[in-house]
Amino acid sequence: MGYKKIKKDQLKTLFNELSKDCSLFVPSGSKGYVGFDPWDGNSADFTEWYRNTTIPPKALFFPPVEAMLRFRKGEAGYEIEELLPNGRPQIVFGVRPCDARALKITDTLFSDTYRDPYYLTRRENATIVGLACNEPCDTCFCTSLDISPGESQDVDLLCSDIGDELLMEAVSDKGEDLLSKMSGLSEASGEEESKAKQLGDSAKEKITRQIDTSGLLDKMRSSFENREYWEDVSRKCMSCGICTYVCPTCHCFDICDENNKKDGKRVRNWDSCKFPLFTRMPMENPRHEKWRRIRQRYHHKFEYFQMNFETIACTGCGRCIRECPVNVDVTEIIGGIQAL
Amino acid sequence: MENRLKEEAGKLLKEGKVDYIVGYGKGTVNLRTSPLITNKEEDLEGLVINPFIANNLSRYPVELKGRVGIVVKGCDSRSLTSLMQDKKVKREDLIIFGVPCEGVVDLKKLAGQIGAEIDRVTDAEKEGENLTLQVDGSKKTIPFRDVIFDKCYGCEHPTPLEYDMLLGSEVAPNLDIEKSLERIKELEGMDAQERWNYWKEQFSKCIRCYGCRNVCPACFCERCFVDVNMPQWVATYATWQDNLTFQLIRTLHVAGRCSDCGECERACPVGIPLRSLQRKMVEEVKDLFGHEVGIDKDAPPVFSHYEATDPDEFMK
Residues in chain B: 316
Q: What type of residue is B232?
A: Q
Question: How much is the pLDDT for A281?
Answer: 61
Cα A156 from chain centroid?
15
- Cα–chain center distance at A34: 14
CA angle centred on B49, ends A242 and B83, rounded to 5°:
60
CA distance B81 to B315: 31
Q: Which residues contact A178 (CB under 8 A, 6 or more apart)?
A: A91, A127, A129, A156, A157, A170
Residue B277 to residue B275: CA distance in whole angstroms: 5
Which amino acid, one-letter code, is at B203? Answer: F
Contact A118, A251 (CB under 8 A): no
B229 touches chain A (CB under 8 A): yes
Q: Do B207 and A55 touch (CB under 8 A)?
A: yes
Residue A16: predicted pLDDT:
97
Q: What pLDDT does residue A168 have?
A: 97
Q: How far apart are CA B226 and CA B223, in angstroms?
A: 8
CB contact under 8 A, A325 and B117: no
What parts of chain B have a pLDDT lower than 50?
A: none
pTM score, two decimals?
0.95
A269: nearest CB among B29, B236, B267: B236
Instruction: Choose among B28, B64, B205: nearest Cβ to A332.
Output: B28
Distances (CA, A) of A327 to A238, A324, B30, B235: 10, 5, 11, 30
- Report yes or no: B110 and B136 within 8 Å, Cβ to Cβ: no
Work out the minimum CA distance from B314 to partner chain A, whole angstroms: 33
Residues of A with CB under 8 A from a CB of B: 31-33, 35, 51, 54-55, 64-65, 137-139, 235-236, 238-242, 244-246, 254, 256, 258, 267-270, 272, 275-277, 281, 290, 321-323, 325-327, 329, 331-332
Residues sharing a CB contact under 8 Å with residue A183, sequence separation 6 or more, in sequence order:
A14, A17
Q: What pLDDT does residue B305 have?
A: 86
User: How far is the C-alpha of B89 from the C-alpha of B81, rounded, in Å?
Assistant: 9
CB pairs under 8 A between A and B: 114
Among B237, B250, B264, most A C-beta atoms within 10 A, so best to mutate, is: B237
Contact with chain A for residue B238, Cβ under 8 A: yes
Which 3-state string (H, E, C) describes chain B? Answer: CHHHHHHHHHHHHHCCCCCEEEEEEECCCCCCEEEEEECCHHHHHHECCCCCCCCCHHHHHHHCCCCEEEEECHHHHHHHHHHHHCCCCCHHHEEEEECCCCCCECHHHHHHHHCCCHHHEEEEEEECCEEEEEECCEEEEEEHHHCECHHHHCCCCCCCCCCCEECCCCCCCCCCHHHHCHHHHHHHCCCHHHHHHHHHHHHHCCCCCCHHHHHCCCCCCCCCHHHCECCECCCCCCCHHHHHHHHHHHHHHCCCCCCCCCHHHHHCCCCCCHHHHHHHHHHHHHHHHCCCCCCCCCCCCHHHCCCCCCCCHHHC
| Per-residue pLDDT at A232 | 95
* A316 neighbors A140 (Cβ within 8 angstroms): yes
pLDDT score for B228: 84
B237 touches chain A (CB under 8 A): yes
What is the model's pLDDT at position A165?
Answer: 96
Cβ-nearest to B119 among A138, A254, A332? A138
Strand A4-7 and strand B20-26: the pairing is: unpaired
Q: Which residue of B has its CA nearest to A245?
A: B209
pLDDT at residue B227, rounded to an integer? 87
Query: Which site among B209, B221, B225, B228 would you substitute to test the A interface, given the most A Cβ atoms closer than 10 Å to its Cβ?
Result: B209
Q: Look up residue B297 and give its amino acid.
A: K
Q: Is the peptide bond before B231 cis (omega within 30 degrees of 0)?
A: yes
Mutual angle of helices A117-124 and A97-110, in 10-degree steps: 140
3-state secondary structure of A47: helix
Cα A324 to the center of its chain, rounded Å: 17
Q: State the sign of the Cα–Cα–Cα–Cα dihedral B225, B229, B234, B236.
A: positive
The distance of Cα B49 from the centroid of its chain, to the nearest Å, equals: 16
Q: What is the pLDDT of residue A318?
A: 98
**Residue of B230, B297, B234 whose CA lies nearest to B80:** B297
**A241: nearest Cα among B88, B119, B226:** B226
pLDDT score for B176: 95
DSSP one-letter code for A306 = H
Instruction: Pick left, alpha or beta for residue A127 (phi over 0 → left; psi -120 to 50 → alpha; otherwise beta).
Output: beta
Every domain of chain B and the residues it spans: 2-106+148-315, 107-147
Q: ipTM beyond 0.90?
A: yes
- The predicted pLDDT at position B65 comes to 85
Report CB contact under 8 Å: A240, B33: no
Query: Across the interface, which of B117, B215, B237 has its CB nearest the CB of A325?
Result: B215
- Residue in B30, B238, B269 closest to A33 by CB: B269
CB hemisphere CA count around A207 (13 angstroms): 27
pLDDT number for residue A192: 95
How many residues belong to chain A? 340
pLDDT, tens digit (0-9, with 9 covering 90-100), for B94-115? 999 999 999 999 999 999 999 8
Return d(Cα B274, Cα A139) in angstroms, integer: 26
Say if the Cβ atoms of B55 and A64 lie within 8 Å.
Answer: no
The amino acid at residue A292 is R
Does residue A32 sit in helix, strand or coil? coil
CB atoms within 10 A of CB A71: 17
CB-CB neighbors (< 8 A) of A279 in chain B: none
Distance, in angstroms, between A58 CA and closest chain B CA? 13
Contact A51 B117 (CB under 8 A): yes
Residue ranges, chain A, pLDDT below 50: none
Beta-strand relationship, B94-98 and B68-72: parallel
Facing B35 at nearest CB: one of A31, A33, A236: A236
Residue numbers in A near B64 (CB within 8 A): 235
Smallest Cα distance from A106 to chain B, Å: 20
Q: What is the pLDDT of residue A282?
A: 61
Check residue B309 and give its pLDDT.
Answer: 87
Count CB-CB contacts under 10 A for residue A4.
Answer: 21
Q: Which CATH number fits the domain B107-147, given the four candidates 3.30.70, 1.10.238, 1.10.1870, 3.10.450?
A: 3.10.450
Partner-chain residue, chosen from A33, A281, A331, that has the shortest CB–CB distance to B270: A33
C-alpha closest to that of B90 among B261, B256, B301, B297:
B297
Q: How far is B267 from chain A (nearest CA, A)?
A: 5
> Which residues 6+ apart lie within 8 Å of A253 measured at CB?
A62, A268, A269, A270, A271
Q: Tell me what pLDDT residue A210 has.
A: 96
Contacts of residue A258 in chain B, CB cutoff 8 Å?
Answer: 235
Q: Is some CB atom of chain A closer than 8 A to the CB atom of B227?
A: yes
Beta-carbon separation of A240 and B229 below 8 A: no
A35: chain B residues, CB-CB within 8 Å? 270
Per DSSP, which regions of A110-187 are E strands?
126-131, 157-161, 165-170, 186-187
Q: How far apart are the first and last CA of chain A?
A: 49
Per-residue model confidence (pLDDT) at position A89 = 96
Note the helical H segments in chain A.
Answer: 11-18, 58-61, 97-110, 117-124, 173-181, 190-206, 216-223, 227-234, 242-245, 290-299, 305-309, 319-323, 330-338
Check B207 against A138: CB less than 8 A apart. no
- How far is A250 from chain B, CA to nearest CA, in Å? 13
Say whether A238 and B239 touch across the interface (CB within 8 A). Answer: no
pLDDT (tens digit, 9 = 90+) per residue, B42-78?
A: 999 999 999 999 999 999 999 998 999 999 999 999 9
Q: How far is it, in rounded angstroms, from Cα A167 to Cα A165? A: 6
Q: What pLDDT, on the 0 to 100 scale, is given for residue A1?
A: 57
Q: Choose from A58, A235, A244, A288 for mutation: most chain B CBs within 10 A.
A: A235
pLDDT of residue A325: 98
Q: Are A43 and A225 spatial neighbours (Cβ–Cβ below 8 Å)?
A: no
A139 vs B contacts (CB less than 8 Å): 29, 119
**B33–A327 C-beta distance less than 8 A:** yes
For residue A252, list chain B residues with Cβ-Cβ distance below 8 A.
Answer: none
Q: Which residue of A has its CA nearest to B203?
A: A31
Interchain proximity A238–B214, CB inside 8 Å: yes
Extents of the domains making up chain A: 4-206, 216-338
